[in-house]
Structure 1
Amino acid sequence: AALLPVGYHRLVQRAGGLAVMLPPDAPEAAEKVVARLDGLVLAGGPDVEPALYGADPAPETGPPSRER
């Protein structure tokens, strides 16, 4: 089972969004869903490389993962 802490769901809703979980074992299905999203929250794990989305790293972030 894939689980997400309820806090993420509530914060997305509070910001006016709809929380949608992507299937972790079906990349082709996830690609179809991601194509329709306005934003994406990657919960847990290493930080995403800020240069991939045109940002500078924040001082409080850890080492980024280019694969993520």
Structure 2
Amino acid sequence: MMMAILDAGPFQDWIRAFDRHERAQKRYAAAGRIRNEALINYLRPELDEAGRELNAATRALNNQYR
């Protein structure tokens, strides 16, 4: 059963959160590859925050269509 998308806001929020998380993850991985501990420690909170943001956006999107 297909559902009509009545509000694109949650989808846009999820896409924005996913993009932010993906960028943070790439920066963190690059810092890990060059083994720069200071940079890793600097980027870890940003990655954690982006992950929480993505989880919240995913939860909101799932709750909208239950």
Q: TM-score, normalising length from structure 1?
A: 0.20
Structure that is richer in helix per residue: 2
Structure that is richer in strand per residue: 1
Q: TM-score, normalising length from structure 2?
A: 0.21
With a CA cutoff of 8 Å and minimum separation of 6, indicate the structure with the bigger relative contact order.
2
Structure with bigger gyration radius: 2
